[in-house]
Amino acid sequence: MTVATSTDGELFEVFVRPRRGVSHIHAGSVHAASAALALQYGRDLFTRRLEGVSIWVVPASAVTASQPDDADGLFAPAEDKDFRYPGYYELPDGIENI
Amino acid sequence: MSNALAAADVVTQFVCRQGDRCLVLSHRLQQCITHAPQLEEELAIANIALDLLGQARSLYTYAAGRIGPDLTEDDLAFGRDADEFWPPALVEQPNTDFALVMGRQLLHDLWADELWRAMRSSTDPTLAAIAGKAAKETAYHLLHASTWVVTLGDSTPEAHDRMSAALTALWPFVDELFSTDDLVASVAALGVAPDPATLRRSWDARLDAILEDATLTRPTGQARPPTGRDRCSDDLRAVIDELHELHAQHPGARW
């Protein structure tokens, strides 16, 4: 058992699966003394109105995030690559859908 | 009000007594609002208090309807003196620290979990329905309380000692939960509710498993001798007086 070292505890990111068959979606974050408590707080905060069928909590420190300054290098090049869109391709006669 | 309840049948009196337990514990938890160690825990405590208030409302509404068509849940909650409430002394105990709040919750929720699950097969269909809803809520309350007791028990020396002290302070009030009087014996004979003594074995085993995870040991203190109901405790009177304050000043006040 990890000993909590501050009164607020660790920050956890909370992911809720809204219904069966779809992915977990980030809902928010909570402070908690342990992962088990983070799960309960996530339930209290983000599933009050039957929003979920499953919850994940992940220590925020375990999330590696992209930086806003890197956005040009990471995302902008996709704009020029029209071959990634279905509209780029001409359909042979007789084919209606890709 | 008091005469009507005293003259009511045993099932009605039993239902009202269960409502008293839920209402008083709910109020004790509400007193923690703005005092919880963190915002997230404050919400958790408020959620549990609200569940218990909902259980009290269901029970009082049912009891009031059995007494007479003109009575409401409010008559039972606000129309009685503290002397006429009958919760187990455990739920009256004041919030001395967070460990006591969670320890009180653990001992109560474990008992309530056993009670509601047994009452899902009550011979009284309304009580069986109330028990079905309450059992799900209580399972979550128990999970939360046991998580905290284990977290605090298996933690720093100070947390461990305070959790241990809280359970020791609460232990004298445990036996009352499993005791039987004429009213409880009557409803047990009717199959309306279980004889609480039959819940003890499972309660003991489940508590021991949680305490083991928490590196805590079961307190050994003696049960508090039953005081009878000649007068209610100062703790109960303080809770009920606070609960009645708004209603006393503004009868029939609504949101």
ipTM over 0.85 threshold: no
| Cβ pair B207, B149 in contact under 8 A | no
The DSSP secondary structure of A5-72, one letter per residue, reads -SSS-EEEEEEEE-STTS--EEEEEEEESSHHHHHHHHHHHH-TTS--SEEEEEEGGG-----GGGHH
User: What are residue A13's DSSP bridge partners?
Assistant: A29, A58
- Which of A1-10, A79-88, B10-19, B242-251 ranks highest by mean pLDDT? B10-19
Q: What DSSP letter does each residue of B223-236 carry, written as one string?
A: PPPP--SSS--HHH
Give pLDDT, residue B253: 82
Which pLDDT does position B220 carry in this prediction? 86
Asked if residues B65 and B12 have their Cβ atoms less than 8 Å apart, the reply is no
Tell me whether B150 touches chain A (CB under 8 Å): yes
Q: What is the predicted pLDDT for the residue at A4?
A: 43
Query: Å from A98 to nearest chain B CA?
Result: 49
Q: Does B1 or B192 have the greater pLDDT score?
A: B192
Nearest-neighbour CA in chain B from A65: distance (Å)? 25
Query: Least CA distance to B48: which residue of chain A?
Result: A44
pLDDT, one tens digit per residue, over B22-33 is 999 999 999 999
Using the predicted structure, report yes or no on whether residue B2 has a pLDDT greater than 90: no
User: Average of pLDDT values for B6-12?
Assistant: 92
Alpha-carbon distance of A79 to A83, in angstroms, equals 10
What tokens were used for B127? 């009580």
Interacting residues of B172 by C-beta distance below 8 A, sequence separation 6+: B221, B222, B223, B224
Residue-level pLDDT at A2:
45
Average pLDDT, chain B: 94
Over residues B197-222, the pLDDT tens digits come to: 999 999 999 999 999 999 999 998 77
**B59 in Cβ contact with B16 (< 8 Å):** yes
Name the minimum distance, in Å, from the CA of B29 to any CA of chain A: 16
Segment of A62-71, A89-98, B220-229 carrying the highest mean pLDDT: A62-71
- Distance, C-alpha B234 to centroid of its chain: 17
Q: Is the pLDDT of residue B231 over 80?
A: no
**Inter-helix orientation angle B125-153/A35-46, to 10°:** 140
Q: Of B174, B186, B81, B193, give the one whose Cα is nearest residue B126.
A: B193
Beta-carbon separation of B40 and A41 below 8 A: yes
Angle between helices B98-119 and B200-213 (to 10 degrees): 140
For residue B156, the chain A residues in CB contact (below 8 A) are 3
Judge whether B40 is closer than 8 Å to chain A, CB to CB: yes
Q: Which residues of B25-48 are buried (b: 16+ CB within 10 A; e: fewer)?
A: bbbbbbbbeeebebebbebbbbbb
Task: Specify the higher pLDDT residue, B127 or A49.
Answer: B127
Residue B57, chain A, CB below 8 Å: the answer is: no
What gap in Å lies between CA B28 and CA B94, rounded to an integer? Answer: 7
Among B75-84, B136-145, B199-208, the minimum mean pLDDT is found in B75-84
Measured between CB atoms, does B97 come within 8 Å of chain A?
Answer: no
- Nearest to residue B240, comparing CAs of B87, B111, B107, B106? B87
How would you classify residue A9: left for phi > 0, otherwise alpha for psi between -120 and 50, otherwise beta? Answer: left
Q: Chain A: nearest CA to B37, how far in angstroms?
A: 7
| pTM (predicted TM-score) | 0.89
Q: What would the pLDDT profile of B43-79 be if each residue is shown by its tens digit?
A: 999 999 999 999 999 999 999 999 999 999 999 999 9
